[in-house]
Structure formats: structure tokens, C-alpha cells
Amino acid sequence: MNQYSKSYIILTSILLMSLPIVNSSSVDSELGHKLTSPIEDGIWVNDTLEVNGSTTLPPQGADWVLYDVTDPNMEFPIILASGEFFTSVTPIDEDLWIWSIVIDVSGFNCTCLLEVTQMDDSGEELLNRIIFIGEGPHNPVVNHNHDTSIIVDGEYVISSRAILADSQTIDSKLILNWCLAPNGACDGTLFDSEVNVSWENDIGTFSINVSSLGLDDGVWKFTYYLQDVYLRTSAEIEMTVFVDQTNPTSVLICPENALEGEMIVIDGSGSTDGVWSNNLQSIWYVTDPDGITYLPTSNTTDEMLNIALSKSGNYTVRLDVIDWVGRMSSSNTTILVSNVPPIIDLQLEGSSVKNPNSWQFLQDESLELVAAAIETGDDSNSLIYSWYLNDELISTSVNLSLSDLDVGVHNLRLVVTDNDGAEDSHEIEVTVNAQSKSESNNFNITAVLVLVGIIGFSIMIFRRMRMSENEASVLPKWDSNHKSNSANKGTERVSENDMWTDEDTS
């Protein structure tokens, strides 16, 4: 082992031996802190104050201030001394240093507060110690371990730490003062009493009991201080106590009957908790006719419930009101919700007419009907559509297309039924007309002309075929000569006649 290592171990041992021996509670209270010290509150020094401890933060940056807090009524404590660095720093490990602060306090006589500060990435790391400096006398100091505003329902336990310079906590007294203070200041009689304190080392506990102190519901101002065996007193600890020992009352106002899908208002603003009515929490529960319970979330405030009940039947509405100490009161009511029948809204495709009582169209045309129903609540999802033509069910769809109907008058009826059996119906007299006469005549004439044309064309084709057959046949020779001779003779007769006639005439 080299000389440097030996010197390092010896120096560390000396520093550790110089630290005062403290009880385990003081050490445990520092666990988890980055800036710690084994020095207890309440040490008494005269000439030199030496405080040491450890830190896991870089020790180059540290501030300390020594305050005079002898007079707790001073708005700002007096600064007796301050510094920007530790007096000495010794490295122990990679991220651990032992530090010390040495302050010359000769001539000081006070109850003082030493505050050490180191900066971290997450903020400030603080270390505070109460120091008694000088010959004294030194008044006791009380540090409270509770909130300065508390809510009491029956009994509340208070815990505080006492720091005394030259006496024991077991020999001290704790004096309690209280008064009704609805506006922050005492209003009426100021009461006081010595409190029975249970001490464990320097930690004292006592209770505020509503019954034994005669506290009514409301805001109370409490103070307490510690008096040591020499009748020296500490500064007062103030706290505001809110007393609430009355059960709240839940009150509901709402209609007994409602229509399906109708928006109704249920008023719970009449619920009360005495002087603490503004601090009530309201929880609404709704149970539908099927026995399903749910918490409404929309259009709801603590005091009012705006809701549309979508099913017919009996609904149960319950209001729980809870005060700030956990007491609860409930009230409920029953609302009978009546069914609303559906209302048919029927339209014809391509027409702006709604719910017509009669309609006409030609035989070769079609009729498109678009059905809708005005319904409330959940019924719109369970409506049944029934189409009847001449009292015969032809469709259960929402929309209907009619075509290929016989000429004449037909009766069309639509029936819409909801889940409660309520229904609405609408009838239409549908007239199917035959095509007009002029169109029929035109059709007949055209048909005749086409037929005549076909017949004529057939005859012409037939004659041509016959002529072709005649030309293709060969006549006998004798017949040809005979015809030729006959023709020549005829010609000669004509010529002779012509000549005879001319001569005779001449």
C-alpha cells in the first residue's frame, strides 16, 4: 500500500470519528436525500459552529446562510452570516463527498437557523438545522408535521417536533387556542386549553376532538405553542380547521311522467350539507326498464341532469351526494316513460308530393315509393315496414317499386309498427291507365302498311321467278315456223289490202 493511500484512509477515519454520534431516527430521516448531515436540531454552541455532512452533488457550488429566528414575529429573519462554498470538501467515492462548514459565532446569542443549499438539475437541495448559539436563555422551537389546513370529522391527530435547548420535552406543556373564524379572523369567543401530548423522543402527538372541544360545523382558527419547564414559549403554529360532522341530504325534483325520447330536467340542487353545501359531489345513476344501470355522461352537472329517456317503461333515477369528509346520502325517483307511435313520411321518387292519397301512372311505367318514419327513442332501429297491395302483403322493405300492374284501380297500404306494437298506416289509391287510343291507331296503321309491303314484295319476287322460268324453256321448231309464216301472211294481207284500198280509192 502506497503512502498516499495510507494518508487518505487516516484522514477519512479522523473525519468520520469527528462526527457526533446521533440516534438512528436522525440518520434515517436523511435517507434518500442528496445533501445530508448527521447533526441534530438543537445543538448548543458558543464560539464556533462546525457542521459536517455528505453530498452526492458536485460540491463546487454550495450556499449557506445563518438566520436569527429568535423572534418568530419578525417578517424577515436576520442574516448573521453567509457563504458561497463549503469550508472543506473530501472525496470519498466517485459521486460522494464529505463536507464541513465552520462559522465563527462568537458574540452571537440567538436561536438560529442554518440553511445549506445546493443546486441540482431537478431544483434545489436544502438542508436546515436549528442551532442554539450563545449563553441564552433560548426559547423552545416547534416544527409541525401536518398541513396548515385540515378537515375534521370527529377526531384528527396532530404531530409536531419540539426542539429545546436545556430541558426535556416530557416536562413541557402544549397550549391550544381556537375560535370560530368563518371569514378567516376570530368571530366570537377565544377558547384555550392545555393539550395532553404523547411524546416519543422529540415527536409529540395530540388530537383535535370535535365533541370534547365543542366544535360546530364551520371554519375554526387554531393555534398552539410549546411551553418549557422554565415557562419559555415557542412561536405559535397556526392552522385552519374545517369541521364537518353532519350527514348530507340528497333531494331530487323531477317529473313523474315523460314521453319516449323527450328531454327532461332532473334537479338535485336542493341537496344540502349544512354550511358545506357548496362542497358536495353528486353522482347520478339511471336504471332503464330492462334493469340496466348506467352513469349518464352528457348534459350532466353536479346539481342538474338533462336527459332523454329513449325506452318506454319505468326508469329509476338515483342521486348520491358525498361531502368532503366522505359521508354520503342517496335519493331516488321513478319516471314512467310513455311510448310515442311512429308517424309515416312517404314520398314518391321524382316527386315532391308527400303522403299522397292517390296516384296515376301508365301500364308500361313503374312507381318508386320511398318510406320514412318519424320516431323517437330507440324505436327507429326496430321499426317494421309492411306493404299491402289489394290487402295482400307484398314487401317488408323500407322502399317499394311497383311495375307490371294490370290496368285498373289498386289499393296500396303501408303499415309501420314500432317495438311497442304502436303503428301508423297510410293508403294510396293507385290507378294504372292503358296507353292512349291515338298511339294504338298509329300502331295499327303502321302494322298494316308493313304487312302490305311484305305481301307486295313477295308477289314481285314470285313473278320474277316465273318469268325467269319461261325464258329458260325451249319452244318446238314447227311452232316457230308456223308463227313466222303466220306473221308473214298477215303482213302480206295488210300490204294487199293497203294496195287495194289505195287503188280503189284512186
Question: 173-182, 263-272, 340-349, 410-419: lowest mean pLDDT where?
Answer: 340-349
> Alpha-carbon distance 289 to 309, whole Å?
10
> Alpha-carbon distance 126 to 120, whole Å?
10
Whether 389 and 429 have beta carbons less than 8 Å apart is answered as: no
Higher pLDDT, 10 or 164: 164
pLDDT of residue 298: 63
Band (349; pLDDT cuts 50, 70, 90): confident
- What does the pLDDT average to over 322-344? 91
- What does the pLDDT average to over 51-77? 88
- What does the pLDDT average to over 347-358? 84
The C-alpha cell 332532473 sits at 266
Domains annotated for the chain, with CATH where assigned, are 20-133 (2.60.40.10), 141-243 (2.60.40.10), 257-338 (2.60.40.10), 343-433 (2.60.40.10)
The C-alpha cell 435547548 sits at 165
Higher pLDDT, 364 or 199: 199
pLDDT > 70 in the chain, percent:
82
What is the phi-psi region of residue 136: left when phi exceeds 0, alpha when psi lies from -120 to 50, beta otherwise? Answer: left
> Alpha-carbon distance 395 to 418, whole Å?
17
pLDDT of residue 345: 86
Task: Write out pLDDT tens, residues 220-237.
Answer: 999 999 999 999 999 899
Band (493; pLDDT cuts 50, 70, 90): very low
Whether 34 and 120 have beta carbons less than 8 Å apart is answered as: yes
> Alpha-carbon distance 331 to 263, whole Å?
21
Check whether 498 has a pLDDT greater than 70. Answer: no
Task: Tell me the average pLDDT of the chain.
Answer: 82
Longest dimension (CA), the chain: 203
- What does the pLDDT average to over 164-181? 93
Band (296; pLDDT cuts 50, 70, 90): confident
- What does the pLDDT average to over 328-340? 93
Whether 347 and 369 have beta carbons less than 8 Å apart is answered as: yes
- What does the pLDDT average to over 459-480? 61
pLDDT of residue 470: 58
Check whether 83 has a pLDDT greater than 80. Answer: yes
pTM: 0.60
Task: Write out pLDDT tens, residues 391-413.
Answer: 999 999 989 988 888 899 999 99
pLDDT of residue 17: 32
Q: Which long-range contacts (CB under 8 A, 24 or more apart) does 204-207 make?
A: 204/159, 204/160, 204/161, 204/162, 204/169, 204/174, 205/157, 205/158, 205/159, 205/160, 206/157, 206/158, 206/174, 206/176, 207/155, 207/156, 207/157, 207/158
Q: What are the distances in angstroms from CA 150 to CA 207, 211, 242? A: 12, 17, 6
pLDDT of residue 121: 78
What is the phi-psi region of residue 505: left when phi exceeds 0, alpha when psi lies from -120 to 50, beta otherwise? Answer: alpha
pLDDT of residue 490: 44
pLDDT of residue 463: 76
pLDDT of residue 325: 84
DSSP alpha helix (H) spans, 81-231: 210-213
pLDDT > 90 in the chain, percent:
49
> Alpha-carbon distance 423 to 400, whole Å?
19
Check whether 434 has a pLDDT greater than 70. Answer: yes
pLDDT of residue 438: 54
Check whether 289 has a pLDDT greater than 60. Answer: yes
DSSP-derived secondary structure letter, 249:
B
Whether 163 and 72 have beta carbons less than 8 Å apart is answered as: no
- What does the pLDDT average to over 136-147? 91
Q: What are the distances in angstroms from CA 313 to CA 289, 309, 333? A: 5, 10, 14
Check whether 361 has a pLDDT greater than 70. Answer: yes
Band (346; pLDDT cuts 50, 70, 90): confident
Check whether 415 has a pLDDT greater than 80. Answer: yes
Check whether 429 has a pLDDT greater than 60. Answer: yes
pLDDT of residue 478: 42
Whether 218 and 292 have beta carbons less than 8 Å apart is answered as: no
- What does the pLDDT average to over 378-382? 71
